[in-house]
């Protein structure tokens, strides 16, 4: 895996308008791991892509009526089989963190990279996802040296009262060992 001009080489790229410029000057210094499944606890299909690009059809599933108007995105999504999709170049601000704070610094979207795992809090992630996430994280840390092991967190760490992802099923010890 490689990054050139803030984009993953050899990964699918799907442009979204759910992004904007990072405030100046901001140093990319945080990696936030999330999970998402649409509908909840179901995997496969293009529903996540549709949500992140503002094209989610509210008539496909009852849950979609609750979320189809959200303007959210992430820099990358890692599917269950380990493939990666990039929606936002890393130098742009994706809209993944919401109201958030890390180590006393608010507005985590301003200085973070958001990676979504296709998953749910209580469903184990696939081996392929761990491999892809470790590879991507190593490349992000190489390309953005302000992100070290201590700057890789879950959504629950930056929005603890509001979010629980990547959830209890995410094996932080395994992931950190893969990064070592």
Residue 35's DSSP bridge partners are 117
User: Residue 80: its pLDDT value, please?
Assistant: 98
Q: What is the pLDDT of residues 18-44, one digit of tens each?
A: 999 999 756 899 999 999 999 999 999
Structure tokens given for 142: 């190489």
Distance of alpha carbon 175 from alpha carbon 149, whole angstroms: 11
pTM, two decimals, is 0.97
Total residues belonging to the chain: 180
User: Residue 133: its pLDDT value, please?
Assistant: 98
Q: What is the pLDDT of residues 51-61, one digit of tens each?
A: 999 999 999 99
Find the radius of gyration of the CA atoms of the chain.
Answer: 15
Structure tokens given for 49: 């892509």
Q: What is the pLDDT of residues 72-84, one digit of tens each?
A: 999 999 999 999 9
Catalytic residue, candidates 4, 116, 118, 139 = 116
Question: What pLDDT band is residue 92 in, cutting at 50, 70 and 90?
Answer: very high
Q: What is the pLDDT of residues 115-170, one digit of tens each?
A: 999 999 999 999 999 999 999 999 999 999 999 999 999 999 999 999 999 999 99
Crossing angle, helix 172-179 and helix 127-143, to 10 degrees?
Answer: 50
User: Residue 55: its pLDDT value, please?
Assistant: 98
Task: Tell me if residue 24 is catalytic.
Answer: no
Structure tokens given for 43: 């995997």
Q: How many CB atoms lie within 10 A of CB 153?
A: 19
Domains annotated for the chain, with CATH where assigned, are 3-45+75-179 (3.40.80.10)
């Amino acid at each position: 895996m490689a990054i050139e001009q803030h984009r993953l080489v050899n990964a699918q790229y799907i442009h979204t308008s759910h992004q904007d410029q990072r405030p100046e000057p901001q140093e990319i210094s945080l990696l936030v791991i999330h999970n998402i499944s649409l509908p909840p606890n179901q995997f496969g299909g293009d529903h996540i892509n549709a949500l992140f690009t503002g094209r989610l059809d509210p008539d496909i599933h009852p849950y979609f009526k609750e979320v189809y108007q959200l303007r959210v995105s992430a820099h990358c999504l890692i599917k269950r089989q380990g493939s990666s999709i990039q929606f936002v170049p890393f130098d742009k601000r994706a809209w993944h963190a919401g109201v958030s704070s890390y180590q006393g610094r608010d507005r985590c979207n301003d200085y973070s990279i958001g990676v979504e795992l296709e998953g749910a809090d209580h469903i184990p992630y696939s081996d392929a996802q761990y491999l892809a996430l470790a590879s991507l994280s190593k490349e992000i840390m190489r390309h953005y040296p302000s992100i070290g092991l201590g700057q890789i967190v879950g959504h629950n760490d930056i929005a603890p009262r509001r979010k629980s992802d990547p959830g209890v099923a995410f094996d932080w010890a395994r992931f950190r060992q893969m990064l070592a």
